[in-house]
A and B are shown apart, each in its own frame.
Chain A
Amino acid sequence: MKNSPTVDEQLDMLGRMVAVRHLEERLGELHKAGKTRGPIHRCDGQEAVGIGATAMLDDEDLLTSTHRGHAHYVGKGVGLHPIVAEILGRATGACAGRAGHMLIADVKKGLLGGNAIVGGGIPAATGFAVSLQMKNRADGGQRVAMCIFGDGAAQTGICHESMNIAALWKLPVIFVLEHNQYGLTAHHSTQSSVPDLSVRAAGYGMPSEIVDGNDVIAVHRAVGAAVERARRGEGPSLIEAKTYRMVGFSTSDVGGYQKDEDLATWRERDPIVLARAMLADAVPAERLDAVMAAARAEVDAAVEQALGDPLPVFAEHAPSAPYTVAGA
């Protein structure tokens, strides 16, 4: 099928998904051991969206993420060590320990960036798309912006404002709605008048598609088509990827609102299990094992290295920057 990933691309995505899952598991352990600060928002079960949606992006394409962005960070090509070191508050982190796990950015990789104001990434990507459209028109480039956001963010006013402007100005932006069923603890049925949020795209004259968010190939195919459309200058699209958050909102979530039968159903549809099964005919089991083991080993190495890295020292920002210390 059009936009279907090759076997090598599928293997790459499987490795990244496994890395993200193992990262979340290791972060859970580190949090329990008191080695992280603040809450950690894990994306266990949602890896196929972040990895599948970003696989076709280049470094010049700009991505905005959420407070639950580890799969987006890894999908966009940010190194595991700078991610882990940032989460552990180290001087060697992607942002030298200033950002934390929710706000990671890496300009060289086009990740700009995590955003912990729910919905904040939506106008952010729309603004990027204006600049990219102007640059594309000037030099014939085909850069796009992408926003991955959740069903909670879809209820904000800025979501409406952004989609209207993006469609009005035919901006090269792809809205990827990572529908994980919950806004913090509140089920989507208590937050939205319609179950399928993509129906709203029609109100902006914007194409949309609903896709199985636990099927990395399906995500890749649908988002890939939307990316190609944006690259051709035909404007924005909305892809609604239905998935499920298999863990709590954050490490401080005490649970009790997710139904056991839902959790069991979605665990059977674990995106990593599905991604591996879809490769079973094309790739020997030993190779799949090796890819998955290598991904986990890479995470473990990043964690070990980061744990030994130095903490930052409070330093003056660049003199030209508009920041001061109190009383100065």
Chain B
Amino acid sequence: MAMMRYAEALRSALREEMQRDPSVWLMGEDIAVYGGVFKVSKDLMAEFGPERVRDTPISEQTLTAMAVTAAMSGTRPVLEIMYADFLPLSVDALMNQASIYNYIWNGQVTMPFVLRTQGGGGAGAGAQHSKSLDALVAHIPGLKVVAPATAADAKGLLKAAIRDDHPVIFLEHKLLYNTRDEVPDGDHLVEIGKARIARVGSDVSIIASSKMVVDALKAADELAKEGISAEVIDLRTLRPLDRETIKASIARTHHAVVVNEGWCFCGYAAELSATIMESCFDDLDAPVERVATHDIPIPYSEPLESTVLPDANKIAAAARRALA
């Protein structure tokens, strides 16, 4: 085990997979010479050369479409989209191209590419650089969507995503890059589609992903002081969803709080809530509580932004409501 920052864990995953497989290559804006605006690909161009680590023009729509077809024809591109807020530019290529071909071409092609991006608020980056658009991509059949909360999972899931034969949207969080935790040594892989119990509890299940796991764990600390034992599930993968881990947890706790940093209306938390209603109704002692971002553009000033976004206090309050 080694203590590692989330960004370093991602870089380590990229480096190991590029060393292991010469068909893996990277492209994105400012990723090569500069090493990425969050420094995830720092030093990789020096190690692997400019053909495998490519700076690109500001052309997200085309780059995403190119990743789709490059992946169909013998290489494994990893595309960095600098901010999740730019994903709408990629969505045509994801929704109308990447998502369809394995199915409508009757299995003739696979598309082993990874689209890495980062989202999330809390950094004062404003309405066009702070969004969490999990629901936008998780809505699309044909894509896998992962959102790691820890450095260990960031590394293990990115390695698994690069080896996957289908498109994987890899959602990072700008406030997680400098968080540190223990990362297993060696060829550390985390299976896509498997959630993790981040904290064991018996009274309420808090189901979250990405940075919301950090907030949920803080909320669980607060609740513990009140004698409430909260279980925190870190989904890790948003699609395909690990329904079994959710069901098993709620069967023990009988209460559920679903959390997502995206907008509330038609958001990812709504999908979690519907899933729990469909599969855990008889186990529930109270309605599912939902915590998500207000349906408002993310404002700039700190008191405004912190009002709009979910946090540990809001998650704890939701747990108390569920148990009231």
Q: Which of these, A120, A122, A137, A165, contacts B57 with CB under 8 Å?
A: A165
Q: Note all chain A residues with C-beta closer than 8 A to B22.
A: 138
Say yes or no: is A244 at the interface (Cβ < 8 Å to chain B).
no
Instruction: Verify B103–A98 contact, CB threshold 8 A.
Output: yes
Q: Note all chain A residues with C-beta closer than 8 A to B72.
A: 112, 128, 131
Given A128-B69, A134-B25, A321-B103, the answer on whether A168 and B97 have CB atoms closer than 8 Å is no
Q: Measured between alpha carbons, how far is A107 from B51 in the docked complex, in Å?
A: 26
Instruction: Verify B56–A131 contact, CB threshold 8 A.
Output: no
Instruction: Verify A164–B59 contact, CB threshold 8 A.
Output: yes
Q: Which of A14-22, A40-48, A154-162 contacts B (4 or more CB under 8 A)?
A: A154-162
Q: Measured between alpha carbons, how far is A125 from B62 in the docked complex, in Å?
A: 11
Number of B interface residues in the complex (CB < 8 A): 46
Q: Within the complex, what minimum Cβ distance (angstroms) separates A108 from chain B?
A: 8
Instruction: Verify A107–B70 contact, CB threshold 8 A.
Output: no
Q: Note all chain A residues with C-beta closer than 8 A to B108.
A: 95, 105-107
Instruction: Verify A323–B61 contact, CB threshold 8 A.
Output: no
Q: Which of B141-149, B150-158, B291-299 contacts A (4 or more CB under 8 A)?
A: B141-149
Q: Within the complex, what minimum Cβ distance (angstroms) separates A200 from chain B?
A: 16
Say yes or no: is A279 at the interface (Cβ < 8 Å to chain B).
no
Size category, A interface:
35 or more
Chain A stretch 91-150: residues in CB contact (< 8 A) with chain B? 95-96, 98-99, 103, 105-107, 112-113, 115, 117, 120, 122-128, 130-132, 134-135, 137-138
Q: What are the interface flags for A316-328 relative to B under an 8 Å C-beta threshold, 1 for contact and 0 otherwise? A: 0110111110010
Say yes or no: is A62 at the interface (Cβ < 8 Å to chain B).
yes
Q: Note all chain A residues with C-beta closer than 8 A to B109.
A: 105, 107, 112
Instruction: Verify A322–B61 contact, CB threshold 8 A.
Output: no
Given A62-B73, A320-B165, the answer on whether A164 and B67 have CB atoms closer than 8 Å is no
Q: Note all chain A residues with C-beta closer than 8 A to B226.
A: none
Chain B stretch 95-116: residues in CB contact (< 8 A) with chain A? 96-97, 100-109
Instruction: Verify B70–A131 contact, CB threshold 8 A.
Output: yes
Given A112-B72, A321-B103, the answer on whether A117 and B92 have CB atoms closer than 8 Å is yes
Chain A's closest residue to B60 (CB) is A161
Q: A127-B66, A134-B51 are in contact. List 10 more A-B contacts (CB 8 A).
A: A95-B108, A122-B62, A123-B69, A126-B62, A127-B67, A161-B57, A161-B59, A321-B103, A322-B167, A322-B240
Q: Within the complex, what minimum Cβ distance (angstroms) separates A143 from chain B?
A: 9
Q: Note all chain A residues with C-beta closer than 8 A to B56.
A: 165
Instruction: Verify B65–A158 contact, CB threshold 8 A.
Output: yes
Q: Measured between alpha carbons, how far is A124 from B167 in the docked complex, in Å?
A: 15
- Can you name 16 A-B pairs with beta carbons within 8 Å? A62-B73, A98-B105, A105-B109, A120-B97, A126-B65, A127-B69, A131-B70, A134-B25, A135-B73, A135-B75, A158-B61, A318-B107, A321-B102, A322-B167, A322-B239, A323-B142
Chain A's closest residue to B65 (CB) is A123
Q: Measured between alpha carbons, how far is A321 from B239 in the docked complex, in Å?
A: 12
Leading 4 A-B pairs by shortest Cβ distance? A127-B66, A127-B69, A123-B65, A161-B62
Interface contacts (Cβ under 8 Å), in number, total: 137
Instruction: Verify A124–B166 contact, CB threshold 8 A.
Output: no
Given A322-B142, A323-B142, the answer on whether A98 and B104 have CB atoms closer than 8 Å is yes
Q: Which of these, A95, A112, A323, contacts B106 with CB under 8 Å?
A: A95
Most buried by B among A107, A161, A317: A161
Instruction: Verify B107–A321 contact, CB threshold 8 A.
Output: yes
Q: What are the interface flags for B152-191 relative to A under an 8 Å C-beta threshold, 1 for contact and 0 otherwise? A: 0000000000000111000000000000000000000000
Instruction: Verify B93–A99 contact, CB threshold 8 A.
Output: no
Q: Measured between alpha carbons, how far is A201 from B155 in the docked complex, in Å?
A: 43
Q: Measured between alpha carbons, how far is A95 from B109 in the docked complex, in Å?
A: 11
Say yes or no: is B278 at the interface (Cβ < 8 Å to chain A).
yes
Most buried by A among B74, B100, B166: B74
Instruction: Verify B104–A95 contact, CB threshold 8 A.
Output: yes
Q: Note all chain B residues with C-beta closer than 8 A to A128.
A: 69-70, 72-73
Say yes or no: is B68 at the interface (Cβ < 8 Å to chain A).
yes
Q: Note all chain B residues with C-beta closer than 8 A to A135.
A: 73-75
Q: Within the complex, what minimum Cβ distance (angstroms) separates B187 from chain A?
A: 21
Chain B stretch 103-147: residues in CB contact (< 8 A) with chain A? 103-109, 141-144
Q: Measured between alpha carbons, how far is A199 from B77 in the docked complex, in Å?
A: 32
Q: Measured between alpha carbons, how far is A313 from B34 in the docked complex, in Å?
A: 52
